[in-house]
């Protein structure tokens, strides 16, 4: 990509495994430090990537071809990660600009549909990545935790050495292998991106005035290692791997410059010495097997949802408004008057927005578009009519095919009914 009309983009790599678009800006110079100019180039690249149509018109041929791949990845909600790679140190002004740009990206990412992060890849990180690339098998990571900066409680449980530690966030980002995922080799999943509700909440706490309460807001992080030893006021961790906390550490790292300034913000870490592979695998599975809290769950107690539930059930005493996952209507109910919040969200987005491609995704509906969909008060009669209308369409989606639809549509039950419903909606006067 580098060359004439590269538009401050030296390289682009779409990583499907990590669902991330890496946008590279490299500065390899003979000087010992670099100023803020490369950071401004990264910011320029971010602004231009928000309008891919315009960027593709003015960039060079190599970038033109790559942008088609980038566009598809953005549609699939890939995260965008800008990496400034340099062998020189940042000047004082550049470090301040890096902190400012990270905060601005965190703020803007929470407001629109283009979540992005900015990371510095310096000489130490380049060397570490090179060492990992040389290893044929999965790399073994080691780390020394500065005990003078932490509060720790060493205990022995079931014959296993355990250290429970209160660790400043500024020490957490020193853990190796967060961004490239090598720290999470034994985790059951890698980073899911930074745009979901929980990770945005972590960012807001870090940048907000309640950052001192971060310890109380967070459940903590679990790490296992092959061997632990305390020496010279440091906890030496050999073969360390985080088995619960991948999402949190990636989010914290994306706010690295802000985190470095927080001297009174901490996180709970649990370190277990588990050299046995099978036991380590069981710990990884069990610490990640709790029921996931989805965006729909977080909205079930929203005042607008509760108000709609109360009004609906007052209007239709034999009906029921299901607002929570797993909730079962009580008493004698008319099944035609039972409304599910999840289904209602899908119905509203195809009726108001005419976007059937979004209607199948609860995450988008109750995370990105919730405020738009539920900002108004709906008449309960309309909620009932919309629910019955969609139920009738769903009943027709059967092998008997009463509507005589193309058979290909019948197997696309997750998408096609909402598409057909939208077409019906558009055809109405």
In a domain, 409, yes or no: yes
Where does 135-276 have alpha helices with state H?
Answer: 169-172, 197-207, 214-217, 246-254, 256-259
* Two tokens, residue 417: 């009914």
Give the residues across from 320 on adjacent strands.
Answer: 338
Q: Picking from 264-268, 348-352, 386-390, 399-403, which range would have the lowest pLDDT averaged per residue?
A: 399-403
Confidence of residue 76 (pLDDT cuts 50, 70, 90): confident
Same domain, 266 and 171: yes
In a domain, 17, yes or no: yes
Confidence of residue 137 (pLDDT cuts 50, 70, 90): very low
Number of neighbouring beta carbons within 10 Å of residue 117? 24
Same domain, 100 and 196: no
User: What are phi and psi for residue 402, nearest 5 degrees?
Assistant: -65, -20
Same domain, 78 and 180: no
Confidence of residue 136 (pLDDT cuts 50, 70, 90): very low
Return the exposure string of 245-267: e unless at least 16 CB atoms fall within 10 Å of the residue's CB, then b.
Answer: bbbbbbbbbbbbbbbeebeebbb
Q: Picking from 84-88, 208-212, 406-410, which range would have the lowest pLDDT averaged per residue?
A: 406-410
What pLDDT digit, counting tens, does each position of 392-410 carry? 877 777 777 776 766 665 5
* Two tokens, residue 91: 């000047």
In a domain, 5, yes or no: no
Confidence of residue 9 (pLDDT cuts 50, 70, 90): confident
Among 94, 128, 162, residue at a domain's last position:
128
Same domain, 63 and 188: no
Same domain, 145 and 27: no
Q: Picking from 129-133, 163-167, 207-211, which range would have the lowest pLDDT averaged per residue?
A: 129-133
Length of the chain: 429
Angstrom CA distances, 108 to 103, 162, 185, 203, 355, stand at 9, 40, 31, 12, 24
Nearest-angstrom CA–CA distance, 84 and 66: 19
Whole-number percent of the chain with pLDDT over 70: 80
Q: Taking the model in full, what pTM does it have?
A: 0.55
Same domain, 144 and 257: yes
**What SS3 class is residue 420?**
helix
Task: Say whether pLDDT at 193 is over 80.
Answer: no
In a domain, 1, yes or no: no
Task: Say whether pLDDT at 411 is over 80.
Answer: no
Winning range, highest mean pLDDT, from 116-120, 155-159, 183-187, 390-394: 155-159
* Two tokens, residue 375: 């900002």
Among 231, 266, 287, residue at a domain's last position:
287
**What SS3 class is residue 289?**
coil
In a domain, 134, yes or no: no
Same domain, 233 and 322: no
Nearest-angstrom CA–CA distance, 379 and 172: 50
pLDDT at position 326 is: 74
pLDDT at position 268 is: 95
Q: Are 142 and 234 in contact (CB under 8 A)?
A: no
Same domain, 300 and 283: no
Task: Say whether pLDDT at 362 is over 90.
Answer: no
Number of neighbouring beta carbons within 10 Å of residue 74? 19
Which residue has 């902190």 as its token pair?
Answer: 99
Nearest-angstrom CA–CA distance, 195 and 264: 26
Work out the average pLDDT over 203-210.
90
Same domain, 303 and 283: no
Task: Say whether pLDDT at 301 is over 60.
Answer: yes
Nearest-angstrom CA–CA distance, 50 and 55: 9
**What SS3 class is residue 386?**
helix
Nearest-angstrom CA–CA distance, 246 and 243: 7
Task: Say whether pLDDT at 8 is over 80.
Answer: no
Secondary structure (DSSP) of 108-131? HHHHSS--EEEEEE-HHHHHHHHH
Work out the average pLDDT over 60-65.
77
Same domain, 341 and 418: yes
In a domain, 133, yes or no: no
Number of structural domains, the chain?
3
- Residue 355 vs residue 223, higher pLDDT: 223
In a domain, 2, yes or no: no
Helix (H) or strand (E) holding 310: helix 303-315
Work out the average pLDDT over 377-388.
89
Nearest-angstrom CA–CA distance, 43 and 8: 9
Task: Say whether pLDDT at 314 is over 80.
Answer: yes
**What's the CA dihedral at 370, 373, 374, 375 to 10 degrees?**
100
Confidence of residue 93 (pLDDT cuts 50, 70, 90): confident
Same domain, 43 and 160: no
What pLDDT digit, counting tens, does each position of 315-356 carry? 999 999 998 877 778 778 898 999 999 888 888 887 776 666
In a domain, 4, yes or no: no
- Residue 368 vs residue 174, higher pLDDT: 174
pLDDT at position 112 is: 60
Task: Say whether pLDDT at 119 is over 80.
Answer: yes
Same domain, 368 and 233: no
Q: Which domain holds residue 270?
A: 139-287
Work out the average pLDDT over 289-298.
67
Confidence of residue 5 (pLDDT cuts 50, 70, 90): low
User: Chain centroid to CA 306: how far?
Assistant: 27
Number of neighbouring beta carbons within 10 Å of residue 40? 14
Among 73, 108, 128, residue at a domain's last position:
128
């Amino acid at each position: 990509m580098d060359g004439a009309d590269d538009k401050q983009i030296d390289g682009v790599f779409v990583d499907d495994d990590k669902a991330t678009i890496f946008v590279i800006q490299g500065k390899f110079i003979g000087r010992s430090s670099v100023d803020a100019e490369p950071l401004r180039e990264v910011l320029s690249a971010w602004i231009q990537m928000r309008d891919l149509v315009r960027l593709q018109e003015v960039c060079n041929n190599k970038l033109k071809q790559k942008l088609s791949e980038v566009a598809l990845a953005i549609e699939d909600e890939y995260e965008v990660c800008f990496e400034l790679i340099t062998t020189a140190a940042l000047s004082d002004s550049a470090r301040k600009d890096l902190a400012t740009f990270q905060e601005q990206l965190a703020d803007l990412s929470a407001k629109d549909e283009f979540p992005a992060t900015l990371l510095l890849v310096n000489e130490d990180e380049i060397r570490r990545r090179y060492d990992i690339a040389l290893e044929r098998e999965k790399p073994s990571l080691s780390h020394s935790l500065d005990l003078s900066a932490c509060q720790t409680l060493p205990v022995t449980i079931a014959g296993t050495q355990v250290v429970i530690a209160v660790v400043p966030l500024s020490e957490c980002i020193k853990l190796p292998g967060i961004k490239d995922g090598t720290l999470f080799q034994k985790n059951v999943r890698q980073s899911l991106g930074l745009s979901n509700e929980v990770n945005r909440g972590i960012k807001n706490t870090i940048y907000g005035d309640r950052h001192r309460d971060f310890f109380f807001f967070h459940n903590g992080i679990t790490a296992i290692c092959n061997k632990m030893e305390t020496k010279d006021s440091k906890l030496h961790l050999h073969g360390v791997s985080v088995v619960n906390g991948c999402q949190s550490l990636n989010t914290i790292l994306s706010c690295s410059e802000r985190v470095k300034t927080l001297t009174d913000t901490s996180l709970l870490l649990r370190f277990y010495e588990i050299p046995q592979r099978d036991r380590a695998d069981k710990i990884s599975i069990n610490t990640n097997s709790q029921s996931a809290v989805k965006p729909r769950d977080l909205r079930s107690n929203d005042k607008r949802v509760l108000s709609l539930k109360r009004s609906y059930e007052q209007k239709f005493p034999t009906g029921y408004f299901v607002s929570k996952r797993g909730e079962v209507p009580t008493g004698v109910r008319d099944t035609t008057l039972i409304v599910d919040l999840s289904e209602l969200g899908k119905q509203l987005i195809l009726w108001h927005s005419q976007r059937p491609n979004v209607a199948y995704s609860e995450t988008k509906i109750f995370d990105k578009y919730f405020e738009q969909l539920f900002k108004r008060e709906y008449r309960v009669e309309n909620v009932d009519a919309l629910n019955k209308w969609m139920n009738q369409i769903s009943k027709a989606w059967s092998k008997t095919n009463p509507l005589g639809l193309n058979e290909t549509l019948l197997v696309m039950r997750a998408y096609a009914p909402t598409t057909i419903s939208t077409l019906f909606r558009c055809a109405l006067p």
